[in-house]
Amino acid sequence: MNKKIRVLHIITRLAGGGADENTIYTVQKLDKNKYKVDLMTGIENLDVMIDNLQLNEDTELYVIDKMVRNVSPLKDLLALYQIYKIIKMNNYDIVHTHIAKAGVLGRTAAKLAAVPHIIHSLHGITFPKTIHPLKGFFYLLVERFCALYTDYFLAVGEDIKEKYIKAKVGQIDQYRVVYSGIDLDKFIKAANYEQNKKNKIKDELSIDHNKLIIGCVAALEKRKGHQYLFEVFKRLKEKYDNILLLIVGRGERKEHLSNLVDELNLTEDIIFTGYRNDIEDIFAIIDIKVLTSFWEGLPRVLIQAATMKIPIVSFAAEGVSEIVEDGKNGFIVDIYDTDDFYEKLSVLIKDSTLRKKMSQYLDINIKNKWSYQQMVKKIDHFYRQLL
């Protein structure tokens, strides 16, 4: 029997986001006859995610208690040592990192342990223009330095790949694109729910069946720009009575955003659902999908919305233009331009014919391009090319 290829995936934390899902799909779905795949993560949020991991029997889960999201010099050094020891002990053929902190610590530890192949997946920009310039420049320098001992970058979309190349992080021949993978079948099924089933979902959330529902599915983090969405929604409520805003997700800004909703007197018009495992059911009742992120890698929630034929209005974050064809299945608005966001959203609210027209548009390649099966197949092919 041939020796299995030993692979370690390292991710900063498992918080229920797109990078987490991509990583877990890859760990779960790579052929176990060819690969021995392990997973390493930090301690943050793990108590929430651990029951849903469903890892294979032969997959080891390593939890690095010192690996945290924010910069912490002492913890980062201790985490580097913990990661190095585990890599050295297991003699991996490939170390594949995800997210900024795990990307720096994991790649550095892999280099110190003389791992033959070091790969880093780009799920988002670590040096976006929307953060403080000095902070962004520091992160850019770190990325350039780590690129010196990164064999390949796997970008989740063309947009993020081009931005990294333009920023002179590594060389062009280090980059490959492997589109972010999603279990699209359940979204395709949910797009065809009967009205009775949709009404039951609305009843569960205490939503009037006749409300037009604007939905934002995004982690409750600063970079998701919820405050700009609330500002726009406040203006819309002055013009349209029959609208409701659904906020789906969890995060550290929950209390702040709840207080903001109270200040804007929108408590009766904005519903926070928290984290949902049945996100396809939520999408089934949404009439318009909105996203006000400042930066992304590839916004998977827009792929899900596009699959379910829901019209979209989004800030022009990275990857949005790969999903939304402006004027066909939604509108793309410049980041921070709340006036244009208001206008575009207002058009969709009042024009049911346009909403229906947009809902009938679907990129015929969407399933082949964004399925998790296609993603895992490409990663498998890439690994075999390496070895």
Which residue segment(s) compose the domain that 349 sits in?
185-366
Same domain membership, residue 131 and residue 100? yes
Task: Give pLDDT, residue 261.
Answer: 96
Contact criterion met (CB below 8 Å) for 163 and 139: no
Same domain membership, residue 316 and residue 174? no
* Strand 212-217 relative to strand 175-177, pairing: unpaired
Same domain membership, residue 356 and residue 255? yes
Taking the C-alpha atoms of residue 364 and residue 330, their distance in angstroms, rounded to an integer, is 16
Q: What is the pLDDT of residues 6-44, one digit of tens each?
A: 999 999 988 767 788 889 999 999 999 999 999 999 987
Same domain membership, residue 347 and residue 209? yes
pTM of the model: 0.82
Same domain membership, residue 232 and residue 98? no
Task: Give pLDDT, residue 181.
Answer: 87
> DSSP secondary structure string, 296-311?
-B--HHHHHHHHTT--
Between the alpha carbon of residue 193 and those of residues 39, 160, 286, 364, the distances in Å are 36, 34, 12, 21
Taking the C-alpha atoms of residue 269 and residue 267, their distance in angstroms, rounded to an integer, is 6
In which element (H, E) is residue 179 found? none
Same domain membership, residue 197 and residue 157? no
Same domain membership, residue 83 and residue 169? yes
Please name the residues in contact with 126: beta carbons below 8 A apart, sequence gap of 6 or more.
100, 103, 139, 140, 142, 143
With a pLDDT cut of 90, the percent of the chain lying above it is 77
Of 220, 292, 223, the C-alpha closest to 250 is 220
pLDDT band at 69 (very low <50, low <70, confident <90, very high): confident
Please name the residues in contact with 358: beta carbons below 8 A apart, sequence gap of 6 or more.
309, 311, 328, 329, 330, 348
Task: Give pLDDT, residue 47.
Answer: 65
Whether pLDDT at 1 is above 60: no
Same domain membership, residue 165 and residue 120? yes
Total domains in the fold of the chain: 2
Taking the C-alpha atoms of residue 113 and residue 87, their distance in angstroms, rounded to an integer, is 7
- Look up residue 218 and give its two tokens: 């995004």
* Euclidean distance between the first and the last CA atom of the chain, given in angstroms as a whole number: 17
Task: Give pLDDT, residue 57.
Answer: 84
Task: Give pLDDT, residue 50.
Answer: 65
Q: What is the CATH number of the domain that holds 52?
A: 3.40.50.2000
Same domain membership, residue 198 and residue 94? no
- Look up residue 297 and give its two tokens: 């890698």
